[in-house]
Structure formats: structure tokens, C-alpha cells
Amino acid sequence: MEEQPFENTLTPSSETLHQTCPICSAEYNTQPKFCSNCGYPINGTFDEQDAFDLEYRSQRASLEGALIIAGKARTALFVLSGLLLIGNGVIAYVQGSAAMFIVGICISAIFVGLGFWSKKKPFTALVTALVLYATIVLADAAFDPSTLIKGLLVKIIVITYLISGIKSAKEAQHIQDELNAKNWNQ
Amino acid sequence: MEPIEPSTNSEHIKPSPEHDEELAPIEEAMLTEVVVPIDGVTIAEDLPALLLCNNCQQPVAEADRFCSNCGTVRVIAAESYSEDNFMAEAKPVAAFYFIILLICIGVKLIDDLNQYKYMFWVEVTIAIFTFVFAGSRWHQIAPLYSLRGIKPKLMLGYSAIAVVFSLLVGWGADYINAELFKSEAVYILPYLSYPFTAVVFLFSIAVYPAIVEELGFRGYVFNVVRKLGGTNSAIFISSVTFAIMHLNIIGLIWLVPFALWLGYLRYKHETLWYGMVIHFMFNATTAVIEMIDYGVAPFDF
């Protein structure tokens, strides 16, 4: 099948010829080859339009991919706060310490809060969570080295998820900036 | 000196028609010289700027994001992202935080370190690490020490707020410590056995943190995180690391807001001076109150 360039199928009849960009809805009375608002080859060949489509979709897909990994870090935070709540609760019960119980609840609440915040500000929230968690692990280990071994797997998994979440959040931030610059957010 | 007589001199000043014609081509040449676009930017202000596409040299409008002729994007994100670059920037700042943190944990852990004869060397060690890490980015940090643009009245205002905030925090902390932990937090005890208690105490509690902590967190950490994640991230993360490093869970209640304020001022004024003076005034207020409580004269030589 022969693909006809768009500009040949619609010959301009008068100056009042009206065109709307199918991607961003920008309106034109002239016949630009590319939409100056979003870069779509509005009067380009089908090949050019295909190439645009591909890049547009792939950028949006990489953004979604990065956000999914950041989302996994969020899930890890929620699981972590649950585990900490149980762990600190048991310690507080054994020690019979009300202060320890309150501190345990506060720490879990902070991680839940950071989890929710990471939807809006993934980079800042996940870095904060990592700093806080690593500090707690290190401080615990300094006072009682045996705590480092307890739940070692959980510690490694949580920290791994947080680090990859931070990287993805940064990547998502960068793609978002590019999408903003190109007006590709619709 | 000839007397100035406008009526007679005016004829000499008035350009003749021939003179006008002589000047015209020169003026035109000067104009075109000014309007020549350099990389799509013109120097002349009152003339409409002629913007050209970097790729195909066709004219583009100011508001265009893409060239309508060749489709090249005009506004490109500041710099390209790579995970390797990100990690290369992030690792040193993470190392800095964890080194300082481990030293602070060590101080909490080893009671003996709380004697000032050891604590002094801990302070020296932290200062050295801070100077080394901050030194690696000195070209970005040095301008933050410029005294240009510092407003003395504003400084006085901030100092007053710092003193009031310190008094409120002091009363609040005393109350929480007494009610919740049946204890009191006193900083001056390890210093009482030394000569010049007031000088040593004020240096260690107020002068030293104002210099070293501000350089480390509002200078180094802030700068690196701002590059990695933007200004808001920098203010927040530099504050959180600063606050957590103090290893005082109750203290987070006032350390975080205090640090957020300092971080915001560092961003707003692009200087470390306000933060240093506020930090000094805040800590010095606590120190002076303890000195009064323990009857330490300010100049007890």
C-alpha cells in the first residue's frame, strides 16, 4: 500500500485553512511541517509521524517503568513499617517499656508517612527513608551487634529496594523534565 | 573663552542635508552590526529579536518549543541523565553522612569520649572530614562565605528569633525530659573541670557547630543534593541528615524545623552567614542559661 504524505492529500485551498494538532490540539492557520508546540510532524510523511509516535510512546513508557520501580520501594516502606511495629511492639512488651512502645509507633508512622509522600515527591521521600532506616540499623548495631544479624535478609531487601527506588525516582524526575520541555504531558 | 550664544551658534550645530547623507550609511552599518544574531540571540533591546532554529536556521517564535520547519526541540532539559553520573555524585555525600554518623554513634556508645579532653579530638576529626569533603567542592561553597549582600538588620532579626526559639525549645525539652524520662539533659557537666570553662564551653557548644555543621550540611550536603534532586530536596534532605545525626529521637521535634529554617535561608540568601549566626545564637542561648544555672562566670580566668 502506498502511503501518501499528509500535505499532498490536503491541498491548501485558501489562507483560512485550519489545522489542529492531533497530539496537543494546538491550532494553526498556516501549514507548518511540524507542530511548534509538541513537535508532531503535522504535515510530515507517515514515516515521520510513525517515528514521532514511537518516541512519544517510548518516553512515556520509560516514565511509567521508572515510576513502577519507585512504587515497589513504596511497598517496601509499608512492609517495613509493619515489621518494625511488630518488632518494636514485642521488644516494648518484653521490656515493659511504655516509652519504647511510643517510640516504636512513631518510627512506623514516619515510614508510613514517607511511603505516602513518595507518591508526590519520590526522590526526597525515598532518600529520607533510606537515611533514616540505615541510621536506625547502624545505631542499633552499635549498641547491640546481634541486631545486625537479626532479620538481615529483610534489611538487605529493604535497602536494595530503597536504593533502586531512589535511582528510578531520579530517572523519572529527569524524564518528566524532558516531557515538560517537549509539552508531552497530555 | 568665547561667550556661548545659542542664537548664533545654532547654525553651526544644525547638520546640513549633506551631512545627514554622509552619516546615514554609517548609522545603518552600526545598526546592522548590533542586530546580527549570535546563536539565535540579538543584542539590540528595542528591536524584535530574531530567533533562529539551531538546526535549520529558520526563524522560530519565542514561545515555540519545536521548530515548525525541521521539528528540532528548542528547549532541552538541562543535562542528560546517567545512572553512573548519579551514583558518582551520590556516593561521596553518602560516605560523608555515614562517617559523621558513625563518629556520633561512637560518642554515644563510649562514655569516656564525653570528657572534653577526648571530645576535643572527636570535634577535630569531624572538622577534618567536613573540610575534606567540602573542600572537594570548594569552588561551589566558597561564594557562600561572601559578605556581600549581608543585611545587619536582618541578621539581628534572625538572631532574635533564634534566641526566642532556643528559649522555647529549652523549656519544652526540660519539660519532656522531666515528665517522660525523669531526667534532665545538661551539656555543661563535662566542661566544669577545666580552666576557662566558659570559653571552652562556648567554643565547643556554640562556635564550633556554627562553623563546622553549617559548612557540612548547609554547604556540602545541600550543594550535592541540590544537584541530584533539586532545591526542595536539598533543603529537606540536608535538614533531615543534620537532625538525625544528633541521635536524639525527641530532639527531632525541634531539630528538623530548625534545620529546615536554616536550609531555607541558605537557599533564599545564597549564603552561610545567616545560618552560622543563627546556629551560634541558638546554641549560645542554651549554653548561657546553663552557665547561669551552674554559676559559671563568662570570664572566669
- B298 pLDDT band, cuts 50/70/90, is low
Contacts of B71 in chain A (CB under 8 A): 33-34, 39, 41, 44, 48
Asked if B66 contacts B73 with a C-beta cutoff of 8 angstroms, the reply is yes
Residue A174 within any structural domain of the chain: no
Contacts of B242 in chain A (CB under 8 A): none
The pLDDT tens digits of the residues spanning A79-105 come to 999 999 999 999 899 998 888 888 899
Give the residue with greater pLDDT, B214 vs B81: B214
- Among A91, A94, A95, residue whose Cα is nearest residue A151: A91
| Pairing assessment for the beta strands B59-60 and A19-20 based on DSSP bridges | unpaired
Q: Is there a contact between B60 and A36 if contact means CB atoms under 8 Å apart?
A: yes
Distance from CA of A35 to the nearest CA of B (A): 6
The whole-angstrom distance between residue B101's C-alpha and the CA centroid of its chain comes to 22
The stretch B25-32 carries a mean pLDDT of 50
Q: How many CB atoms lie within 10 A of CB B291?
A: 21
Q: Is there a contact between B229 and A143 if contact means CB atoms under 8 Å apart?
A: no
Confidence at residue B237, expressed as pLDDT on a 0 to 100 scale:
96
- B161 pLDDT band, cuts 50/70/90, is very high
B98 → chain A, closest CA residue: A135
Residue contacts between A and B (CB atoms, under 8 Å): 104
Least confident of A88-97, A134-143, B12-21, B290-299: B12-21
- A69 and A146 assigned to the same domain: yes
Contacts of A41 in chain B (CB under 8 A): 71
Helix (H, G, I), strand (E, B) or coil at B66: strand
- A12 and A86 assigned to the same domain: no
- Which of B52, B66, B75, B182 is the mutation pick for testing A, counting most A CBs within 10 A? B66
Three state DSSP letters for chain A: CCCCCHHHHCCCCCCCCCEECCCCCCEECCCCCCCCCCCCCCCCCHHHHHHHHHHHHHHHHHHHHHHHHHHHHHHHHHHHHHHHHHHHHHHHHHHCCHHHHHHHHHHHHHHHHHHHHHHHCHHHHHHHHHHHHHHHHHHHHHHCCHHHHCCHHHHHHHHHHHHHHHHHHHHHHHHHHHHHHHCCCC
Residue A185 within any structural domain of the chain: no
Query: Distances from the Cα of A41 to the Cαs of A32, A182, B107, in angstroms?
Result: 8, 14, 65
Query: What is the rounded CA–CA span in Å between residue A21 and residue A41?
Result: 9
Distance from CA of A122 to the nearest CA of B (A): 10
- B236 pLDDT band, cuts 50/70/90, is very high
Does the structure show a pLDDT above 90 at B284? Answer: yes
Contacts of B86 in chain A (CB under 8 A): 167, 170
Distance from CA of B40 to the nearest CA of A (A): 17
Q: Is there a contact between B61 and A36 if contact means CB atoms under 8 Å apart?
A: yes
Q: Is there a contact between A182 and B65 if contact means CB atoms under 8 Å apart?
A: yes
Q: What are phi and psi of B73, to 5 degrees?
A: -70, 135
Does the structure show a pLDDT above 50 at B21? Answer: no
Does the structure show a pLDDT above 90 at A113? Answer: yes
Confidence at residue A186, expressed as pLDDT on a 0 to 100 scale:
60
- Write the DSSP symbol of residue B193: T
Does the structure show a pLDDT above 60 at A110? Answer: yes
Query: What is the rounded CA–CA span in Å between residue B147 and residue B26?
Result: 47
Contacts of B108 in chain A (CB under 8 A): 139, 142
Does the structure show a pLDDT above 60 at A130? Answer: yes
Residue B275 neighbours by CB under 8 Å, 6+ apart: B214, B218, B262, B265, B266
Locate the domains of chain B by residue range.
6-60, 83-293
- Which of A103, A107, A135 is the mutation pick for testing B, counting most B CBs within 10 A? A135
- A33 and A84 assigned to the same domain: no
Query: What is the rounded CA–CA span in Å between residue B11 and residue B100?
Result: 82
Does the structure show a pLDDT above 70 at B157? Answer: yes
Contacts of A170 in chain B (CB under 8 A): 81, 86, 228-229
H/E stretch holding B22? helix B17-35
Residue A51 within any structural domain of the chain: no
Asked if A129 contacts A164 with a C-beta cutoff of 8 angstroms, the reply is no
Query: What is the rounded CA–CA span in Å between residue A45 and residue A2?
Result: 12
- A32 and A75 assigned to the same domain: no
Residue A139 within any structural domain of the chain: yes
* Radius of gyration of the CA atoms of chain B, in A: 30
B66 → chain A, closest CA residue: A36
Question: How do the residues of chain A divide into helix, strand and coil, expressed in percent and rounded to 5?
Answer: 70, 0, 25
Least confident of B100-114, B223-237, B270-284: B100-114
The stretch B201-213 carries a mean pLDDT of 93
The beta strand positions in chain A, using DSSP E, are: 19-20, 27-28
Confidence at residue B250, expressed as pLDDT on a 0 to 100 scale:
83
Asked if B109 contacts A143 with a C-beta cutoff of 8 angstroms, the reply is yes
Q: How many alpha carbons fall within 13 Å on the CB side of residue B4?
A: 2
Residue B163 neighbours by CB under 8 Å, 6+ apart: B281, B282, B285
Cell of B259: 534545620
Distance from CA of B123 to the nearest CA of A (A): 20
Q: What ipTM was predicted for this assembly?
A: 0.81
Asked if B199 contacts B124 with a C-beta cutoff of 8 angstroms, the reply is no
Residue A181 within any structural domain of the chain: no
Q: Is there a contact between B60 and A183 if contact means CB atoms under 8 Å apart?
A: no
Domain containing A27 equals 1-45
A133 → chain B, closest CA residue: B244
Q: Is there a contact between A35 and B70 if contact means CB atoms under 8 Å apart?
A: no
Count up the domains in chain A and report the number.
Answer: 2
Query: What is the rounded CA–CA span in Å between residue A175 and residue B159?
Result: 42
Distance from CA of B240 to the nearest CA of A (A): 7
- A115 and A160 assigned to the same domain: yes
In degrees, rounded to 5, the angle at the alpha carbon of residue B199 between the alpha carbons of residues B194 and B205 is 95
Confidence at residue B50, expressed as pLDDT on a 0 to 100 scale:
76
- A12 pLDDT band, cuts 50/70/90, is very low
The stretch B24-33 carries a mean pLDDT of 50
Q: Is there a contact between A171 and B77 if contact means CB atoms under 8 Å apart?
A: no
Q: Mean pLDDT for chain A?
A: 87
- A146 and A81 assigned to the same domain: yes
Give the residue with greater pLDDT, A176 vs B129: B129
